[in-house]
Amino acid sequence: MKNKFLAGIFAILVFTLMAGCTNDPDPTPDTTPDPNKGKTAPVLDWSKVADYNAADGDLVLGTLMAVLDGTDGKFKETVFGNFSMDALAEYARFVSGENIDFALHNDSFTRNNPTLSAGELKNSDITGISGMTDTLVVATFTGKQVKDVIEGFVKSTTTGSWSRYCAVIVSKELSYTIDTNDTTPQATNIKVNGVAIDETKDYRIAVGNFIGDNTATNRFLPILDAEKKEKYTPTTVGQAIAMYILAKGTIDPADYPLGRYTGVVPVIPSTP
């Protein structure tokens, strides 16, 4: 009997020691998210734009890691077009403090095939691009008005000396398809963040004043009654993009991949 009692005590001691030597002292894993895990330095440092001088063409904005291609941007999607609209949307968010849904623009500068080489980027490299002089406007457009803008430019007929078929460049939140099966190109399948655009919803957008002002001088689109328009004069589209580069520091074209719109707007001859 005594031997059985001692054997029991020994077994209990062995079990206790083994439990204390386990590799996992806490059998219940801690699933609390680590707030610092994967955290990197801020992508955009807007404090850098405080001393931005629009008149200083030699001001170094940042570094371009590879060629930023804008060839044939009037008629098709380009990396430069994508970059410029992401930049415009981000600057508009910064300067307005608002939740900007997206940015879009006509072909005022993309028709000039802007392409930048890798290396140092100066202010004049951006603001010197022809057609970058539109004033930035933040406005409220309905989904129907956004559709009118995109569809209007893609399928517009030739007016005077202007060949108005053109692709509308958009920030990453927007996407659409250029359908050229018919004799007139059509913009279809317009989406915001992957969901069909709601024609009745109000969207806060960043845009150049050619579209955003909707004045009588705009020959190519119907007058749009956009409410809550706010101008950030004298900030031009080019200056806004330049300040985005200044805040970001390094521009990698891979961050602005193609795929926002598909199809190519056909090239048509100008009418004298």
Is 43 within a domain?
no
Domain with 134, as residue range(s), is 48-262
Least confident range from 12-26, 35-49, 113-127, 249-263: namely: 12-26
Count: domains in the chain: 1
- For 228-243, the pLDDT digits (tens) are 777 776 799 999 999 9
Least confident range from 10-19, 54-63, 66-75, 169-178: namely: 10-19
pLDDT of 267: 63
- For 175-191, the pLDDT digits (tens) are 999 887 766 778 899 99
Is 69 within a domain?
yes
Is 140 within a domain?
yes
Is 36 within a domain?
no
pLDDT above 50: residue 13: no
Cα–Cα distance, 104 to 123 (Å, whole number): 22
Mean pLDDT of 192-210: 93
Is 114 within a domain?
yes
pLDDT of 11: 52
pTM of the model: 0.79
Is 160 within a domain?
yes
Share of the chain above pLDDT 90, in %: 49
Tell me the pLDDT band of 67, cut-offs 50, 70 and 90: very high
Mean pLDDT of 223-231: 67
Is 39 within a domain?
no
Tell me the pLDDT band of 29, cut-offs 50, 70 and 90: low
**CATH number of the domain that 252 lies in?**
3.90.780.10
Tell me the pLDDT band of 35, cut-offs 50, 70 and 90: very low
Mean pLDDT of 233-257: 95
